[in-house]
């Protein structure tokens, strides 16, 4: 059975008293957009895989690589990883990793699953009572293979981590993860010392039309029909307060700043949020 995952918090969800100082240091890694997986290696050489929902699956070929990669590490061993399939693990790639459902189903039906060279496990942590810094040192003694990749961590200040998050987001990654050096693994807890910094990308769009709302928003602006610089049309209503929604004629023809989760395959911003009118 899997160890209950220790979870962190998004940086802007931290209690005010727990927000780190600018010069506090953390181990920082790129956040991959895959599926969380635990890998258990026993003293007897048995490898078990678990999804975040505590569902077992097995990949014989990948299991052998895990045994080889961590052959010199004391067992039993519990590893945390992001599973990605046939992609790099950038923002929006998680859909590819739904292949885990197939592996889980085949395992349940006692069908041998060998996996492919496209199965990649980004190992980012060891779940143990040791401090994170000590666990990381163990990971650094292991070399990445074709399917098992050891995630790189860099020691930097909280201020530097925010700058790093903006850089990786601009390059298409989900964000960064911060781990406090001297914290033990606390199964099942959501802690303030594991922090995700994720900046939603932004773009400038031109407002084509103000659209009336429905229900409570009847008579007010429900959404703004916009176009990106590439001519892709989309509507945005989130982020408009009641005062803004009452300002008919204030938006049409203006350029606005929009925050979004990611671009669709057609270049449409998904989950857009209005931020402000720009000059």
pLDDT on residue 98: 85
Q: 219-259 pLDDT, tens per residue? A: 999 999 999 999 999 999 999 999 999 999 999 999 999 99
- β-pairing, 190-197 with 7-10? parallel
Q: Domains of the chain (ranges plus CATH)?
A: 21-197 (3.30.470.30), 202-278 (2.40.50.140)
Q: 175-221 pLDDT, tens per residue? A: 999 999 999 999 999 999 999 999 888 899 999 999 999 999 999 99
What are the angstrom distances between the C-alpha of 121 and each of 3, 36, 192, 238?
Answer: 18, 9, 26, 36
CA 198 – CA 165 distance, rounded (Å): 7
Instruction: Calculate what percentage of the chain has a pLDDT beyond 90.
Output: 82
Query: Can you say how many angstroms the Cα of residue 167 is from the centroid of all Cα atoms in its chain?
Result: 15
Which band of pLDDT confidence, cut at 50, 70 and 90, is reported for residue 66? very high
CA 218 – CA 260 distance, rounded (Å): 25
What DSSP designation does 41 have?
A: E
Joined together, the tokens standing for residue 126 give 């060891």
Which band of pLDDT confidence, cut at 50, 70 and 90, is reported for residue 163? very high
Cα dihedral angle (263, 265, 271, 277), rounded to 10 degrees? 50
């Amino acid at each position: 059975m899997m160890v209950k995952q220790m979870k962190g918090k998004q940086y802007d969800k931290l209690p005010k008293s727990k927000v780190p100082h600018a010069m506090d240091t953390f181990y920082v890694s790129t956040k991959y957009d895959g599926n969380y997986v635990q890998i258990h290696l026993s003293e007897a050489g048995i490898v078990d895989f678990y999804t975040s929902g505590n569902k077992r699956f097995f990949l014989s070929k990948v299991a052998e690589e895990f045994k080889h990669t961590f052959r010199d590490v004391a067992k039993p061993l519990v590893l945390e990883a992001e599973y990605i399939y046939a992609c790099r693990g950038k923002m929006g790639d998680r859909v590819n990793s739904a292949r885990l459902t197939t592996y889980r189903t085949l395992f349940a039906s006692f069908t041998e699953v060998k996996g492919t060279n496209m199965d990649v496990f980004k190992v980012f942590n060891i779940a143990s009572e040791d401090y994170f810094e000590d666990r990381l040192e163990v990971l650094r003694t292991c070399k990445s293979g074709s399917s098992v990749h050891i995630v790189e961590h860099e020691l930097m200040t909280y201020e530097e981590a925010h700058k790093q998050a903006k850089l990786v987001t601009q390059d298409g990654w989900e964000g960064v993860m911060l781990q406090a050096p001297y914290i033990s693994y606390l199964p099942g807890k959501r802690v303030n010392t594991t922090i995700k910094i994720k900046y939603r990308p932004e773009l400038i769009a031109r407002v084509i039309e103000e659209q009336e709302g429905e229900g409570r928003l009847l008579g007010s602006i429900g959404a703004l029909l916009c176009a990106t610089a590439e001519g892709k049309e989309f509507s945005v209503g989130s982020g408009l307060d009641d005062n803004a929604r009452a300002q008919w004629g204030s938006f049409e023809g203006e350029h606005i700043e929009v925050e979004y989760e990611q671009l669709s395959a057609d270049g449409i911003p998904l989950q857009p949020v209005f931020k402000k009118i720009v000059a």
